[in-house]
Structure 1
Amino acid sequence: MTEAVEWYTNANAALLHHLTKEIKDTDSSTLWRYLVGFKNLLRSIECKGIASVLGINYFARGYLQAKAYERYVAHMTLGRDLLDNTLNLVPSLIPLHKDIKEDSPEYQDLEKKNQQIVDNKHQEGSVAEAIEYFDQTATFLDKLRAVQKQLREYIREGATESLKDARQSEAICAGILVLVCVVSPIIIALVRNAVNTIQVYARNLSEKARELEHEKELSDSLLYQMLPPSVAKQLKQTQQVPAEFFASVTVYFSDIVGFTAIAAVSTPYQVISFLNSVYKLFDERIECYDVYKIETIGDSYMVASGIPVRNGNKHASEIASMALELLEATSMCRLPHRPDQTLCMRSGIHTGPCVAGIVGSKMPRYCLFGDTINTASRMESTGEPMKIQISEDVKREIDKTGLFITTPRGVVDVKGKGEMTTHWLEGRRPGSRTPLSLAPTHPQTRSSPRYKHDKIFHY
């Protein structure tokens, strides 16, 4: 069936290409709009016919494969655009097209079926639905062909009128004929100039379309850096993303020890440059792990694993490996304006449930809520320089893997939580880690480069 449709499509494409060439070569400016409209209407019916074949496949099989789905959306979109272009070129056809929508009780049902195909949700295949969709589409296309027939009459009338005018011109006296012969080169030059202007406009329009597509890709890339890709796509499609509960995630906090003192002896530009260099280093390192960077608040760095894409029971070990990596990277950092001073970092990790969702509409942010975030922050604030403090919950999770070395710290008085037993994460056991140069980059990992001196909402 696919080969048959391809042969039919190629044959029609050749005919449409020939028609386009003939329209470009014509020197009759009075019929140009009708001819272009007629060609666009032909192409619209052709695109809708191809899309209907793919739609029949959807209802018969219950789904469309990715390539077939892309072809369906492309041909339906192109068909609508070409039909709208025809109506713009020939406004007298608008009442006929409006009558098709109003007089056809099946038109709305057909539009719903087309939207159902665009959604491409899997369902049980039904030959009956496929036949019904075919009948409705065929009826709609027949009505479009009736509009095409009316446009053909407009062209015939225009051509007849042009021929009549041509015959009357033959009777003009020799003097006027000489005058026309003198003026005709100018007219031809003007017509050619108009055609050239249209072609230049078309090329410029095509270039603008490519630039627009490029800018769209840049904006999407920026959006995917600001928000998780899965959340960003859902936000673009529905404009709303409901909050989601995660039964178990691991949250990491770190801050720079003595940052206030460093900021006090540094200029604002030096502080920004220093933070930017540190965060760039951290962002590069976390790309090797299945984690998502949530926020940077001043000198505080917040990362989580297990959100927005759940990864089973791997989140604790991923965060632990990342924390050790960042601690090692910190020991190599130097302040650009104070190269003799090394960077000292304090880290904390906690595992537990949380709720994640989009907050705000003007500048939406992906935020985490729950006691887990507060506890992770306390693990960091009650820790010690160049050490990673972990809660009992984190130790329980990473002990299941047998890959990490921990030492007990003892009981710590945590604000808002009371006394908690915590541990130090010392490192990984020998031979338990794939070299970073060979470690794959997880698709979930995204950095959110937002340097703000505000506070994230934690409850």
Structure 2
Amino acid sequence: MLKQKESSCSTPAETSSVLSLSSEDVSVTPKGFRCCVKETNPAHGRGRRFHLCQMLVLPFIPILALIVQTAFILNNIMIHRQEVLDVESQVTTATELGKVVTNLQLERSEVAFYVYTNGTVLSSNLSQRFEATDRALENMNSWPTVVLPQAGGDYQQLNKSLFQDRLDDFRKRISQEESSVSEVLLWYTAVNAVLLEHLTNQIKETDNSGVWRFLLAFKSLLRSIESMGIASVYGVNYFGRGFLHGSSYISYVRHDAIAKDLLNGSLTYVPYLKNVYKKLTNAMKNYGTIKHKCDIIIRNERRKPNITEAIDYFDSIASYTDELRNLQKELRHVIRDYVNEDLRIAANNEALGIAILVVVLAVSPVIIWLVRNAVATIQLYAANLATKAKELKREKKKSDSLLFQMLPPSVATQLKQTRQVPAEFYASVTVYFSDIVGFTEIAAVSTPLEVVTFLNKIYKLFDARIECYDVYKVETIGDSYMVASGLPVKNGHKHVSEIASMALDLLAGSTQFKIPHRKSEKLQIRSGAHTGPVVAGIVGSKMPRYCLFGDTVNTASRMESTGEALKIHISSEMKKALDAIGGYKTEHRGLVEVKGKGLLDTYWLTQKEGGLNRIVEMEAPTYMQDEDGEPVFMRRIREEYVL
């Protein structure tokens, strides 16, 4: 008998049948990830430290983000507060500068009126007007860069002291009657233009603040009064001399239009001022007179000079500009209140931001401590859970191993998932039966324990050998051994060759087997196989079994029962299937009377062509046997029986 093994069936660890696959094989962690999983497992020492750090970092991230956000907001609040302080400083400077411009405008009107009347009539004392302007200059904390034209077309940059000297020098010339109206206008207009330009630049730097509208209205109102003052000089000239020549008339019209446009712009920037201005004009008794005289000047009809009318016009314009300056004063109060409110809000926000930052810094350690205690509790629970999971995994492995020995893995898995497995039709499978010749006589002269030991050893041999083939062991009943191929996983036409090779292998192995309690006797088995359709399914809910039904099963059983010892009896259907595949030798037996089937033409399967029969000596799993190779449960039964 040939005893050489084939390479594809060397050891159970190297290869295994599809039918012996367990759920443990599917749930195994890939090799490359085992180390990483172990290191991050909170149940292990290294994983505990990693998990603790991770859980401490997670709450610290939002805390840190809150601290950074609060600090950022606080920084913005402080920047905004500083901007408001800068705006306050700029408003102060603009207010002081506006007072200087206002006094220069009044001084220009007084000086111009003095020159037009040739010093015969004064609206007020010039020395008092000069003192008021000097006081406004002294009250200025900062002085802008003033560049004024000089004789010869040059320009001179003047500081506060030099400007005061130039102003005093100009006043002396006026008192000596050396100045003309054009020179008066040129001097004061140039000075006011420089100061107003500086005021505009100051306001442009505050475009990020909400006060910019009020500052622009303040600047526009100041420029409106400036243009109105220039226009009034030409108006006094008209009434004092009876006619405006071309350039003077154009200058009056231009400055009068600019004054009105700038006034409307101021009222648009701060709508609140519209009502104030309306009340102001309604309260003025000579407001209608001013408009009437402006219309007369616009017509520029030649008339007799009238100093009295010039004085009335000058006084009415002065009264109107005084009211506009009151409006300007009201606007300064609005700007001051707005800036103070901004400062108050900024201070409150700064205090609130500091309070939030202090609270966050104080609460953070408490949160970290609470998280650390919670993590410690979770890790302790995880360690206990990991221990229980390992125990459950071992038990599951045992139960799956036992379950997959009773049922096909695919069927068992479906049964666990859906709790029902519908019967399935297989068009072509091969069914194998074998039994032990003379088993009844052997059992009659043997004890029950000896019979069980004998059957266990022979079935262990058979079970080990069929692992090398794509077959499924259906059941064993007494000495009957039933195997099928082509189900529950279909394998095409391979089922015929798989059963044929397996049958030859089992026959070869059985010839080397000796009955344990009757060493002198050799085992003889009788085998039979048939190919055909079957229906397979789960039968029963208690101790469910995977059973085969159909005439193919009965025919295979009849092939075994009508066969002979140490021979493999096959049907003509199986013989045709083997011939189609090729590689197997058969002998024609002839017609055989089969119970329930009548005469059937059958054959003997003798050997496999061009190859050696496989002989495998495989042992059962270690947890099923003791050191002598005997099942553990058999040893326990024997001990109980002896006692």
**Structure-2-length-normalised TM-score:** 0.38
CA contact (8 A) 2:508 2:615 kept: no
Change (3 A) 1:345 1:193: same
Unpaired runs of 5+ residues, structure 1, are 1-9, 25-158, 167-191, 438-448, 452-459
CA contact (8 A) 1:255 1:301 kept: yes
Aligned position for 1:279: 459
Cα distance in 1 for partners of 2:614, 2:561 equals: 31
Aligned position for 2:429: 249
Cα distance in 2 for partners of 1:270, 1:436 equals: 26
Cα distance in 2 for partners of 1:259, 1:366 equals: 26
Cα distance in 2 for partners of 1:420, 1:280 equals: 33
Q: Report the Cα offset of residue 257 of structure 1.
A: 0.5
Q: Report the Cα offset of residue 204 of structure 1.
A: 2.6
Q: Is the strand fraction higher in 1 or 2?
A: 1
Q: Report the Cα offset of residue 361 of structure 1.
A: 1.2
Aligned position for 1:416: 596
Change (3 A) 1:194 1:309: closer
Q: Report the Cα offset of residue 256 of structure 1.
A: 0.2
Unpaired runs of 5+ residues, structure 2, are 1-39, 41-46, 60-358, 367-371, 617-630, 634-643
Q: Report the Cα offset of residue 218 of structure 1.
A: 2.1
Aligned position for 1:370: 550
Aligned position for 1:100: none
Q: Report the Cα offset of residue 203 of structure 1.
A: 2.5
Aligned position for 1:53: none
Aligned position for 2:477: 297
Deviations 1:426-445 (Å, cap 9, x if unpaired)? 1112x2458668xxxxxxxx
CA contact (8 A) 2:505 2:614 kept: no
In the alignment, residue 548 of structure 2 is paired with which amino acid?
Answer: L
CA contact (8 A) 1:413 1:420 kept: yes
- Give the secondary structure class of the aligned counterpart of 1:348: strand
Aligned position for 2:535: 355
Deviations 1:409-438 (Å, cap 9, x if unpaired)? 111110010110111111112x2458668x
Change (3 A) 1:315 1:195: closer
- Give the secondary structure class of the aligned counterpart of 2:581: coil
1:210 to 382, 390, 393: 390
In the alignment, residue 289 of structure 1 is paired with which amino acid?
Answer: Y
Aligned position for 1:220: 400
Cα distance in 2 for partners of 1:359, 1:310 equals: 20
Q: Report the Cα offset of residue 223 of structure 1.
A: 1.4
CA contact (8 A) 2:504 2:613 kept: no
- Give the secondary structure class of the aligned counterpart of 2:425: strand
In the alignment, residue 270 of structure 1 is paired with which amino acid?
Answer: E
Cα distance in 1 for partners of 2:612, 2:496 equals: 15
Change (3 A) 1:21 1:229: same
Deviations 1:274-301 (Å, cap 9, x if unpaired)? 0000000001111111111100000000
Aligned position for 1:327: 507
CA contact (8 A) 2:55 2:375 kept: no
Cα distance in 2 for partners of 1:332, 1:16 equals: 60
In the alignment, residue 249 of structure 1 is paired with which amino acid?
Answer: V
Change (3 A) 1:321 1:19: closer
| Residue 583 (structure 2) pairs with residue 403 (structure 1) | yes
2:55 to 9, 20, 38: 20
Change (3 A) 1:277 1:19: closer
Q: Report the Cα offset of residue 229 of structure 1.
A: 0.9
Q: Report the Cα offset of residue 405 of structure 1.
A: 1.0
Aligned position for 2:493: 313
**Residue pairs, 1:69-80, within 5 angstroms:** none
| Equivalenced residues, count | 268
Cα distance in 2 for partners of 1:237, 1:312 equals: 27
Q: Report the Cα offset of residue 314 of structure 1.
A: 1.2
Cα distance in 1 for partners of 2:472, 2:455 equals: 19
CA contact (8 A) 1:288 1:436 kept: no
Cα distance in 2 for partners of 1:251, 1:222 equals: 24
In the alignment, residue 445 of structure 2 is paired with which amino acid?
Answer: V
**Residue pairs, 1:52-131, within 5 angstroms:** none
- Give the secondary structure class of the aligned counterpart of 1:241: coil
- Give the secondary structure class of the aligned counterpart of 1:361: coil
Q: Report the Cα offset of residue 198 of structure 1.
A: 7.8
Deviations 1:19-44 (Å, cap 9, x if unpaired)? 734899xxxxxxxxxxxxxxxxxxxx
Cα distance in 2 for partners of 1:296, 1:421 equals: 28
CA contact (8 A) 1:227 1:366 kept: yes
Superposed CA RMSD in Å reads 3.5
In the alignment, residue 374 of structure 1 is paired with which amino acid?
Answer: N
Cα distance in 1 for partners of 2:543, 2:419 equals: 13
- Give the secondary structure class of the aligned counterpart of 1:288: coil
My pick for the range that moved more, 198-207 or 254-263, is 198-207
Kindly name which structure, 1 or 2, has the bigger radius of gyration based on alpha carbons: 2
Cα distance in 2 for partners of 1:329, 1:18 equals: 62
CA contact (8 A) 1:349 1:376 kept: yes
CA contact (8 A) 2:568 2:605 kept: yes
CA contact (8 A) 1:410 1:423 kept: yes
My pick for the range that moved more, 360-369 or 210-219, is 210-219
Deviations 1:39-60 (Å, cap 9, x if unpaired)? xxxxxxxxxxxxxxxxxxxxxx
Change (3 A) 1:195 1:241: closer
Cα distance in 1 for partners of 2:532, 2:454 equals: 33
Deviations 1:317-342 (Å, cap 9, x if unpaired)? 11111101111111111111100011
Change (3 A) 1:370 1:197: same
Change (3 A) 1:327 1:214: same
- Give the secondary structure class of the aligned counterpart of 2:475: strand
- Give the secondary structure class of the aligned counterpart of 1:384: coil
Cα distance in 2 for partners of 1:195, 1:271 equals: 60
In the alignment, residue 55 of structure 2 is paired with which amino acid?
Answer: T
Deviations 1:203-233 (Å, cap 9, x if unpaired)? 2332112211221222222212211111111
In the alignment, residue 204 of structure 1 is paired with which amino acid?
Answer: N
In the alignment, residue 562 of structure 2 is paired with which amino acid?
Answer: T
Cα distance in 1 for partners of 2:461, 2:614 equals: 18
Cα distance in 2 for partners of 1:197, 1:240 equals: 42
Cα distance in 1 for partners of 2:592, 2:614 equals: 35
- Give the secondary structure class of the aligned counterpart of 1:405: strand
CA contact (8 A) 1:250 1:305 kept: yes
CA contact (8 A) 1:358 1:365 kept: yes
Q: Report the Cα offset of residue 349 of structure 1.
A: 0.6
- Give the secondary structure class of the aligned counterpart of 1:349: strand
In the alignment, residue 527 of structure 2 is paired with which amino acid?
Answer: S
- Give the secondary structure class of the aligned counterpart of 1:400: helix
CA contact (8 A) 2:509 2:615 kept: no
Give the number of the structure with larger relative contact order, counting CA–CA contacts within 8 Å between residues 6 or more apart: 2
Cα distance in 2 for partners of 1:282, 1:256 equals: 13
